[in-house]
Amino acid sequence: MKKRFVLGTIILFPIYVCLIYVYLFHWTTPGVPEAYQGTVADPVTFMTAQEVELSQEYSRYRNLLFFIGIPLEALIYIGILVFGWSPIFKRFGQRISFLSIPIYVLLVSAVVWIFSFPLDYVGYRLSAHYGISTQTFSSWMSDELLSFWIGFIIMAILITVLYFLMKKYQKRWWLLAWALLIPFFTFMMYIQPVLIDPLYNEFTELKDPDLEAEILALADQADIPADRVYQVDMSEKTNAMNAYVNGIGDNLRIVLWDTTLNKLDEKETLFIMAHEIGHYVMNHLYMNLAGVIASSFIGLYVTYRLMHVVVRRWGENLGVTRVSDIASLPMLLLLLTVLSIASSPVELAISRQAETAADEYALEMLPDSEAAIGSFQELTVNGLSEVNPPALVKLLRYGHPTMMERILMIQENGSGVCRP
């Protein structure tokens, strides 16, 4: 089994990477269709020739890294099983009985992090080379380690509870686990803005009182219970721009990156905030929560059905005695990873519909197409974004409509004319 896995990976993975490379660099043509050339959606009308060239290069390399990463995590889990590391991790954890599962989770998480690190580092270097990331290596590494430990703590808690349920309720563990995930997801959504996000960046009250008053007026118009707007110092890490409304209840926050404040004028910033407010007004935050809950129900049930098949067929050779054996965790994570990849096109398509609706809401709230198109153009320039990505990239990567689609929608529905 080891030999087949190694040979299969050595032969098939490079073929896969080569096919993706050919698709991205030779089978697809950058730019907009001929019908839209010369319009405000065409990057040559609002980017310099050098910026257009850099955006095409950066997008292709970034997309290549994304596609390389798709099967990587699954291969790592298979490798842990095939090379017999899973029972070794289990025995190591059992030496400290009351922490056996957290120790096992730590070892698996460390292996995944170590084997994923080279690709993550290349992504960081690529972003820095093209001027998107402004982060020093030490700062980036600090964020990476912070994410690792936060992810480990959350995962250790979830896996400990999950395998307790597996042992106690062999036929209903998936349903009970799903029921417990509902308050967990809600709790995480509640604490994210005030406990987790500040671990990465410093949040302060918006320094421009006039702009804050304008944004709060929009929020009040949309019945958003907010009395302040936060800005986050992201310019130390990136030149990209962003803004968002997240959290629920009294932890809801309206947030602007300082890069957005630095690059956009007031009207453009207000349009971006109107878009984010649209998500709140149309209950997209709660719809996202409901979607995660619904998808977790399906995912856990399918995993429950498949786990028995996988353990029965391959468990003995892989050192996994039963489904509730903690050594089966890589199998569980492998199945969940595959299901996540398979479901992502549907989830992303739903997300694109929600983003389109938020754009339409923003245009109704602030019918200034010049500011709207200007903001999208600036987002494209500062992120070296691809306005019209290849179909496969859009299918598997884009939770937003393409910039070409967004700008054309604004142009068709708005009344203004974008500045040159």
CA distance 121 to 65: 11
> Looking up tokens 């292996």, which residue turns up?
111
CA distance 372 to 366: 9
CA distance 193 to 255: 10
How many Å separate Cα 1 from the centre of its chain? Answer: 34
- The helix or strand, by DSSP H or E, that contains position 75, with its residue range, turns out to be helix 49-82
- Which letter, b or e, does each residue of 85-105 get, where b requires 16 or more Cβ atoms within 10 Å of its Cβ? bbbebbeebeeeeeebbbbbb
Is the separation of the CB atoms in 364 and 127 below 8 Å?
A: no
Expressed in angstroms, the distance from the first to the final Cα of the chain is 61
Is the separation of the CB atoms in 311 and 81 below 8 Å?
A: no
Positive or negative CA dihedral for 131, 144, 242, 52?
Answer: positive
Q: Is 57 a catalytic residue?
A: no
Tell me which of 276, 355, 370, 378 is the catalytic residue.
Answer: 276
290-296 contact pairs (CB < 8 A, 24+): 291/347, 291/350, 292/185, 293/178, 293/181, 293/182, 293/185, 295/343, 295/347, 296/178, 296/181, 296/185
CA distance 30 to 47: 14
- Where does 130-208 have alpha helices with state H? 137-168, 173-191, 197-200
Q: Could you tell me the two tokens for 410? A: 């604004």
Show which residues are catalytic.
276
